Amino acid sequence: MGPPSSSGFYVSRAGALLLAGLAAALLLALAVLAALYGHCARVLPSELHHSGVPDTEPSQPGAPEEPPPTPKPGPTQELEVAATPRKWRPPGPWDQLRLPPWLVPLHYELELWPLLRPDELSVPGLRFTGRVNITVRCMAATARLLLHSLFLDCESAEVRGPLSPDTKDATVGRVPVDEVWFALDMQYMVLELGQALQPGSRYELQLSFSGPVYQDTREGLFLNLYTDQGKRRALLASQLEPTFARNVFPCFDEPALKATFNITIIHHPSYVALSNMPKLGQSEKEDVNGSKWTVTTFYTTPHMPTYLAAFAVCDYEYVSRIERGKEIRIWARKDAIAGGNADFALNITGPIFSFLEDLFNISYPLPKTDIIALPTFDNRAMENWGLLMFDESLLLLQPNDKLTEKKTVISYIVCHEIGHQWFGNLVTMNWWNNIWLNEGFASYFEVGVINYFNPKLPRDEIFFSNILHGVLREDHALVSRAVSRKVENFTETNEINELFDQFTYNKGASMARMLSSFLNEKIFISALKSYLETFSYSNAEQDDLWRHFQMAVDEQSKILLPATVKSIMDSWTHQSGFPIITLNASTGIMKQEPFYLGKVKNQSLLTHNDTWIVPILWMKNGTTQSLVWLDNSSKVFPEMQVSDSDHDWVILNLNMTGYYRVNYDKLGWKRLNQQLEKDPKAIPVIHRLQLVDDAFSLSKNNYIEIETALDLTKYLAEEDEIIVWHAVLLNLVTRDLIFEGKNHDIYPLLKKYLLKRLIPIWNTYSTIIRENVAALQDDYLALISLEKVFGTACWLGLEDCLQLSKELFRNWMNHPENEIPYPIKNVILCYGIALGNDKEWDFLLNIYNNTTKEEERIQLAYALGCSKEPWILNRYMEHAIAPSPLTFNETNIIEAVAASEVGRYIAKDFLINNWQAVSERYGTQSLVTLVYVIGRTISTDLQITELQQFCSNMLEEHQRLTVHAKLQTIKNENLKNKKRSARIAVWLQKNT
């Protein structure tokens, strides 16, 4: 799955307790909840056709705990369905996040009937009905059944069995269901039975239910509204990972509880239905009103977890190709298919499948692959077996995307989701604490596989830019989390959703890359083959993976490790943060310590006692050296000492494959700086990136002096790799510096110092922009770096940059077909407005009003805030609170204005005079954000007091307290930045 969104809602413990309290005060609440979450079921469900359960079964769990007894059934067989607050029920298994191991699901017969009609797209409260027969094996005698269900109304529930294997699983008898109730906080449906199920026997749970189709969030079964061929249309799709299957049908919603599925979808005849497997057949069905519906059935799936079940009902078309005898179809809006927008994704999908099949020597097991481009999909992409889902912006290539990084991004994301067909779908983690086994390895392989198809893409630099750089900035010993968490640490369902973060994806990928680097690719792939073969259609834990790597290591004698693979890798995956490795080049002494944000003198008081077993790949004088290990807090490596010769230098962490930062003593940094000034090309690009990123991060966090990092920039006039310039400017020309820059002593010094060195790289790319911009279309690193380089050049007042901005903007005004090159569009729009007058501003406003794409509207809205004319900015903010036709609903325009040097003073005055209108339009929380933006440069308590007085009438008491605390933090950070800037200014004076 792609990086998660924060959409959705959950019923937490606190919410459940509050519900209990209210219910205790108002007895009526029980009836309300019963009406909302369930109804008395007085009718039996009609029979669902049951085609039998496959002979193969998932491995059974260990000895189950004995379930608590259930009261004997009463005389009636009616079901009472209610949501039961925790206060009103005794302690029991419904208080635990994990299902009790009493039942193992074997097979689902699932029928869904979403009531979507093409002529009723905007019906509020759209719902679906459904039926599911779940064949289960009883593992322990129990008269109480738990399965997952959330926001579903249970219409009826039956338990049939035990099933007789001699008559093809025909039901023998019925187990009375006395009561059905819901434990909402842990999202359980509880069935109280009239008699206990018997261990070893099979039973069939038959449930009828209904539920909501979500329209404001993309989870469970959800609706997308869109326009195609000039008409308003709708589609339904599903997102069940990690815990949203229970929003669609009652189920055993844990990744280890794999089963097979027979899926049936009833839909309007004008739509097509898609699911994991190919279509088995179609028939017709009439509803009670005589309307005809199409019934589409699908072949039985392989064993898979509930979160991989997938459904779509749409009015789409597709393009297809055959790869190794299996059909691949890309489904999208008819306009997009006709425009060829899906062709690029189609053409890369088959070869990626084939490459991974050959790499792992395991064929993709499903007979087809459908990939659907959804108009809106919060999760970016989802790897459902046989029916992959993407946000269309990450799958479809538009004709004007030639000069964006879109082609490469689509390649990476498609490869990521295809990688999941092995890592996640074929072999699934046993529990969510090891989700990194899915996401980390899929993220790791996306870079390597695409590099195979595009050898010109610099693999190490792209891994750094896309994966490593961001997570190193956020990861540190006290605040981050371990890649693999202990199961018992999970207490609420929403904690599972929170695992889909950059530590799971990016740190997980970095763990895989480090493992590959200290072994070798042959051993790495061999171990993964063994792991995937052993656990196919089953589940695995982190230790299972380490065991197969250990087996691969033990089968050879070339690679020798200082400890077991498990010991090495557990030191990285079971603790938060990462180490900083410091080499004393004079003595060869190397030490490790946890990396903290803002190292302080009393660091020893902080608790982080563990060490890492650190692989050290390194280079001396440009020559790769043998791998060594730092498995203690410090160790001596005489071979790493540098001599008195100025030609001697050492770099640790070859190709940045180790997940750590590197520090050196003064001699070590001095020698590296000397080498950069003498012959920078002797140090590979990835290590010039590493030196810049490590040095500035270490200086910011008090490990080294800022002057040490600045010394590394002296050579930059000779730096022709734009990705290195990108790293330098991100670290040196920060947002805060830009915000206050021209009012600070540092600006003229920085301008003189940087422009002298920036001119060569500027000339290279400005010439390309002017003469042959198409040459950039396959230069991914340039495409992601140009905006920062061009923006800095214009901010520093480089006349050619300002002139180019005016030229490109006016050329676009006069000839709209001459589009501004995408990589620098934000810069050109902003400086085109800043250097222009109301003519340019009105032109851009008109473009804004005629644009429907949200991303482009936000881009234009911020560009309009770049004007330096106070009267234009005031007029702009009037638009921001005015009623239609000028509606700025997607962003707070005042925040955009306040983000500029001129605009923050104008925005403050405007806010004082119009705070009521702003509050009504954007909400009081937006006022809190605006106070932070306006207060970005405060450095005294008096300034804080003024801002507090300014907003005291606008905010509630708790917001005022929050604002005060935040402003104090901003002030302290600004004071620290001013001290840092003063030191930079002194250094610049000496070196300009």
Q: Element (H or E) spanning 238, and its range?
A: strand 231-239
pLDDT of residue 849: 86
Mean pLDDT of 825-843: 96
- Judge whether 422-574 and 580-712 match in fold: no
Strand partners for 950: none
270 CB-contact burial (10 Å; exposed 0-12 / middle 13-18 / buried 19+): exposed
- Distant-in-sequence, close-in-space partners of 884: CB < 8 Å, separation ≥ 6: none
SS (H, E, C) 29-75: HHHHHHHHHCCCECCCCCCCCCCCCCCCCCCCCCCCCCCCCCCCCCC
Q: Are 153 and 39 in contact (CB under 8 A)?
A: yes
Mean pLDDT of 186-202: 96
Structure confidence at residue 68 as a pLDDT band (50, 70, 90): very low
What's the pTM?
A: 0.89
Whether 419 has a pLDDT exceeding 60, the answer reads yes
pLDDT of residue 597: 83
The Cα 741–Cα 575 span in angstroms is 40
The Cα 386–Cα 833 span in angstroms is 48
Structure confidence at residue 169 as a pLDDT band (50, 70, 90): low
Mean pLDDT across the chain, nearest whole number? 88
User: pLDDT digit string (tens) for 863-898?
Assistant: 999 999 999 999 998 888 877 555 555 557 888 888
pLDDT of residue 713: 98
Mean pLDDT of 418-447: 97
Mean pLDDT of 50-67: 36
The Cα 722–Cα 714 span in angstroms is 16
User: pLDDT digit string (tens) for 792-831?
Assistant: 999 999 999 999 999 999 999 999 989 999 999 999 999 9
Q: CATH assignment of 422-574?
A: 1.10.390.10
User: pLDDT digit string (tens) for 293-338?
Assistant: 999 999 999 999 999 999 999 999 999 999 999 999 999 999 999 9
Whether 87 has a pLDDT exceeding 70, the answer reads no
Q: What is the dihedral of CA 571, 573, 577, 582, to 10 degrees?
A: 40
Are β-strands 368-374 and 326-332 bridged in parallel, bridged antiparallel, or unpaired?
parallel
66 CB-contact burial (10 Å; exposed 0-12 / middle 13-18 / buried 19+): exposed
Complete edge-to-edge strand list for the sheet that includes strand 260-267: 174-175, 153-160, 202-212, 127-138, 103-114, 260-267, 292-298, 279-286
Tell me if residue 498 is catalytic. no
pLDDT of residue 399: 87
Token pair recorded at residue 677: 């000034």
- Angstrom CA distances, 991 to 252, 538, 709, 798, stand at 67, 62, 13, 20
CATH fold for the domain made of 580-712: Immunoglobulin-like (2.60.40)
- Among 41-45, 667-671, 853-857, which stretch is predicted with the lowest mean pLDDT? 41-45
- Residue 235 main-chain phi, psi, to 5 deg: -140, 160
- Angle (CA) 16 19 23, round 5°: 140
CATH fold for the domain made of 102-315: Immunoglobulin-like (2.60.40)
Q: Are 510 and 577 in contact (CB under 8 A)?
A: no
The Cα 851–Cα 847 span in angstroms is 6
Known binding-site residue numbers for Zn(2+)? 416, 420, 439
Q: Are 934 and 898 in contact (CB under 8 A)?
A: yes
pLDDT of residue 25: 40
pLDDT of residue 301: 98
Known binding-site residue numbers? 416, 420, 439
**Domain map of the chain by residue range?**
102-315, 422-574, 580-712, 923-991
The Cα 223–Cα 236 span in angstroms is 5
Complete edge-to-edge strand list for the sheet that includes strand 81-83: 81-83, 177-183, 188-197, 142-148
- Distant-in-sequence, close-in-space partners of 293: CB < 8 Å, separation ≥ 6: 113, 266, 267, 268, 269, 284, 285, 286, 287
Mean pLDDT of 9-23: 35
Identify which of 211, 204, 206, 298 has the alpha carbon closest to the alpha carbon of residue 246: 211
User: pLDDT digit string (tens) for 536-593?
Assistant: 999 999 999 999 999 999 999 999 999 999 999 999 999 999 999 999 999 999 999 9
User: How many residues appear in the chain?
Assistant: 992
The Cα 954–Cα 934 span in angstroms is 15
Residue among 192, 219, 392, 417 flagged as catalytic: 417
